[in-house]
């Protein structure tokens, strides 16, 4: 028996993964959720047919949205994760003792349950006593928050699905307002390679660049992303991701990582020419 899962990356390109079995399929109020087991990538979860993460590459993404800002901001006490129902980001944050509160706003309760059942290791992060979970719309949650957080991590991946409201100027503006005067926001910046994705990537940078005094983009290689390539955004009111980066301090923490290192931190902000160009074009549009 041959059973293959395909994710459409563009009209003309798809990523196909051999699967052993489908472990779960269900429909929440917001999206269709499926979990598969595969020989190469282990278990992976999809939302409306888009892979969100797999056992094999989840660490890249969770480490990169967590350790990059944590190695820059000198004193993070309160963190907000928008999305993050899988618990992966919370798990990385749990290695930092100075954090006092971690709030997770995950609208989709079913997604959270599914992750807890099929990805119990990641979901460990949700059990940290500092974690508080809210099931509501991210934009709505943020409207009522002013000057509260040191770090906001937007853990939503899809600018076209039900989370599209989390890739808008109103969202970035609400984050700015909810952050303290030296706060940092880290967010998914999509993949710049294919045409359709490039437009979304450009528009994100344009919006954030206009909303925050410091707005830089960094990269990672993630197997299941379109073109295997993914960008993250670093938006900040005060700290610069490289000038204010304290590698020595981070090394001393002795956190065991698989992707992130203090050396990689600076390298991740060094972008290919075509990416640099498209981002700068958006900055010049102001």
Partner 1 sequence: MNNTDQKRAPICEALERLRKKRVVPFDVPGHKRGRGNPELEQLLGDRCVNLDVNSMKPLDNLCHPVSVIREAEELTAEAFGADHAFLMVGGTTSAVQSMILSVCKAGDKIILPRNVHKSAINALVLCGAVPVYVDMEVEERIGIALGMENDKLKKAIALHPDAAAVLVNNPTYYGICSDLVSIVQTAHEHGMKVLVDEAHGTHLYFGKNLPVSGMAAGADMAAISMHKSGGSLTQSSVLLTNKTMNAEYVRQIINLTQTTSASYLLLSSLDISRRNLALRGESSFSKVVDMAEYARTEINAIGGYYAYGKELINGSSVYDFDVTKLCVYTQDIGLTGIEVYDLLRDEYDIQVEFGDIGNMMAYISIGDRIRDIERLVGALADIKRLYERDGSGLIDCEYIQPEVVMSPQKAFYAERKSLPIEKTEHCVCGEFVMCYPPGIPILAPGERITREIIDYILFAREKGCSLQGTENPMVEYLNVIQEQ
- State the residues that interact with partner 1 by CB under 8 A: 137, 139-140, 142-143, 162, 164-165, 168-171, 173-174, 177
Answer yes or no: are the C-beta atoms of 86 and 123 closer than 8 Å. Answer: yes
Q: How near is the Cβ of 261 to partner 1 at its closest, in Å?
A: 37
Q: What are phi and psi of 100, to 5 degrees?
A: -100, -35
CA distance 64 to 44: 19
CA distance 43 to 64: 21
Q: How near is the Cβ of 211 to partner 1 at its closest, in Å?
A: 9
Q: Name the catalytic one among 57, 86, 155, 197.
A: 155
Residue-wise DSSP of 39-70: TTTEEEEEETTEEEEETTTHHHHHHHHHHHHH
User: Is residue 155 annotated as a catalytic residue, yes or no?
Assistant: yes
Q: Which residue lies nearer to partner 1 by CB, 168 or 257?
A: 168
Q: How near is the Cβ of 30 to partner 1 at its closest, in Å?
A: 8
Q: Which residue lies nearer to partner 1 by CB, 83 or 241?
A: 83
Q: What is the dihedral angle through the alpha carbons of 242, 247, 253, 256, rounded to the nearest 10 degrees?
A: 80
Q: Which residue lies nearer to partner 1 by CB, 78 or 169?
A: 169
Q: What is the DSSP letter of 213?
A: S
N-to-C CA span, the chain:
55
Q: Which residue lies nearer to partner 1 by CB, 177 or 202?
A: 177
For residue 284, count other CB atoms closer than 10 A to its CB.
Answer: 7
Q: Which residue lies nearer to partner 1 by CB, 139 or 264?
A: 139
Residue ranges of alpha helices (H) inside the chain are 58-70, 88-93, 109-118, 120-123, 138-143, 169-178, 195-211, 247-252, 262-268, 273-284
Q: Which residues are catalytic?
A: 155
């Amino acid at each position: 028996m041959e059973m293959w899962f395909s994710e459409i990356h563009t009209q003309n390109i798809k990523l196909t993964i051999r699967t052993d079995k489908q472990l779960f399929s269900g429909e929440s109020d917001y999206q269709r959720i499926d979990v598969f087991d595969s020989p190469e990538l282990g278990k992976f979860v999809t939302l409306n047919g888009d892979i969100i993460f797999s056992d094999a590459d989840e660490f890249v993404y969770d480490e990169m949205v967590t350790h990059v800002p944590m190695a820059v901001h000198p004193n993070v006490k309160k963190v907000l994760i928008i999305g993050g129902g899988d618990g992966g980001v919370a798990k990385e944050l749990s290695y930092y003792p100075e954090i006092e509160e971690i709030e997770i706003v995950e609208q989709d309760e079913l997604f959270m349950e599914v992750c807890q059942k099929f990805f119990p290791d990641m979901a460990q992060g949700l059990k940290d006593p500092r974690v508080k979970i809210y099931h509501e719309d991210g934009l709505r949650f943020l409207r009522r928050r002013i000057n509260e957080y040191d770090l906001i991590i937007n853990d939503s991946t899809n600018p076209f699905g039900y989370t599209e409201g989390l890739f808008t100027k109103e969202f970035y503006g609400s984050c700015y307002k909810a952050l303290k005067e030296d706060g940092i926001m880290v967010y998914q910046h999509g993949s710049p390679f294919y045409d359709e994705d490039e437009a979304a990537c450009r528009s994100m940078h344009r919006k954030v660049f206009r909303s925050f005094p410091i707005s830089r983009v960094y990269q990672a290689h993630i197997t299941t992303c379109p073109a295997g390539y993914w960008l993250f955004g670093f938006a900040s009111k005060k700290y610069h991701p490289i000038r204010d980066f304290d590698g020595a301090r981070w090394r001393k923490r002795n956190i065991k990582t698989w992707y992130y290192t203090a050396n990689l931190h600076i390298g991740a902000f060094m972008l290919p020419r075509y990416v640099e160009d498209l981002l700068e074009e958006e900055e010049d549009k102001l």
